[in-house]
Chain A
């Protein structure tokens, strides 16, 4: 047996789960899909005293496609999103990123909320939630609160979750008409942790960029919102002719503002370069998709 000992609970209700989690304090961990937590337990990177398995709480399975937003409960697996035609149609950025989450067996078990809570800098789901202006619904024994994605991700493997709290739901607003989006990433082998990636969303009206969103993946601190690049694109005419210069300027701002790290896979300077390349690819594809072109 590889993990250290823990007390294991598998409550049937959210109330029970929150009570046990609250009693556990900083020593409690939520077990949902387990695709990040179990490796950490097996390698003893973590050894929590209390493990709260939420897989028996049926109310957390909720996947609701509304007129204005998509609601993803704490037990919705990555694969559940891919098997849902309404999600693929209404939130193509989310679907495209989710196909790049690890491998089939991991997408079958791993949850979207779990990936967001874990906030691995190379993970796809945090960047999509940030790009789509999503909301995180958090529950604790003291009650519920909601945070915009912008305020939730606080650094590498860190979030605004307090001890005793858990993410119960994510909400993704429906992107407006005229929007095109794309998610691209670069990894050493398909499905591996991304060395760098980008999520882009452009809303165009009469050839002018009304709203630009660009998030860079794999930069050490978690999803990086490239505001400087967004600014250079917003309110700008971006036709076929102008797009090359516009996106090159955006990429230059990306490489100037990201803060990548050196690690076993590659150097920080290569990562910085790759961030710009990924940004351009994502923006080009997003723009083509605003014109209804089938790309990628």
Chain B
């Protein structure tokens, strides 16, 4: 039985084909084989949430998947959040504006987790945000500023949507 396998996958819109040991974790593959070191490893057994990435649009702990399991998958890591022109993702912007990070170690996992939350639930209340964040450990912020950041990101997305909606209704552009 071969201890290595060839896999093909897409990470942040870029296609890769690599040969990997079957026991290699997806997290180690992303960091050491693709050199995308924005995905952080804390506990390596699914408790801390630092290594959370999007696999086919859904959040997953990359330390709890094997690289060979990602054959054919479409993956987004923190490096894939910025727009091509370098503009930060609205959630990154909200963390920046609201002091949602200090040392930054947990931040990649926090961002991926909260981006998925807003996709499923565009207007979460504080309790829902805290429930979602329960799987991501932060030892600096005390979480309050992270919760604030997510609330701010949700409000901003809602107001952008309202403005777009109004502009479409009245046929006008720009100011409401």
Contact = CB atoms under 8 A, between A and B. Distances in A.
A237 to B, nearest CB: 37
A3 B23 contact: yes
Given A2-B25, A3-B23, A42 B45 contact: yes
Interface in B1-22: 1, 3, 5, 21-22
B90 interface: no
A10 interface: yes
Main SS of the interface on chain B? Answer: mixed
Given A55-B69, A106-B135, A39 B45 contact: yes
B66 A8 contact: yes
B24 interface: yes
B49 A103 contact: yes
A108 B113 CA distance: 12
A5 B23 contact: yes
A105 B113 contact: yes
Interface string B12-47: 000000000111110010000000000000001110
B23 A191 contact: no
A105 B60 CA distance: 5
Interface string A1-21: 111111111100000000000
Given A39-B46, A43-B45, A109-B60, A104 B135 contact: yes
A103 B131 CA distance: 8
Given A35-B46, A109-B60, A190-B131, A1 B28 contact: yes
Contacts of A43: 45
Nearest to A8: B22
A173 interface: no
Nearest to B1: A7
Interface residues of B, number: 33
A190 B61 contact: no
B25 A34 contact: no
A38 B46 contact: yes
Interface in B45-64: 45-46, 49, 52, 58-61, 63-64
B24 A53 contact: no
Nearest to A3: B23
A35 B64 contact: yes
Contacts of B52: 105
B117 interface: yes
A241 interface: no
B65 A34 contact: yes
Nearest to B46: A39
Interface in A133-176: none
A24 to B, nearest CB: 11
A189 B64 CA distance: 21
B64 A6 contact: no
B132 interface: yes
A106 B52 CA distance: 10
Given A8-B5, A8-B68, A105 B61 contact: yes
A36 B130 CA distance: 24
Nearest to A33: B64
Nearest to A77: B58
Nearest to B24: A1
B61 A106 contact: yes
Contacts of A42: 25, 44-45, 63-64
Contacts of B49: 103, 105
Interface in B98-134: 113, 116-117, 130-132, 134
A9 B28 CA distance: 20
A-B pairs with lowest CB-CB distance, top 5:
A103-B135, A39-B45, A8-B22, A7-B1, A190-B134
6 contacts: A2-B25, A8-B5, A103-B136, A104-B117, A106-B135, A108-B60
Given A7-B22, A8-B68, A108-B60, 6 more contacts: A34-B64, A35-B46, A35-B61, A38-B46, A42-B44, A55-B69
Interface of A: 1-10, 31, 34-35, 38-39, 42-43, 51, 53, 55, 79, 102-106, 108-109, 189-191
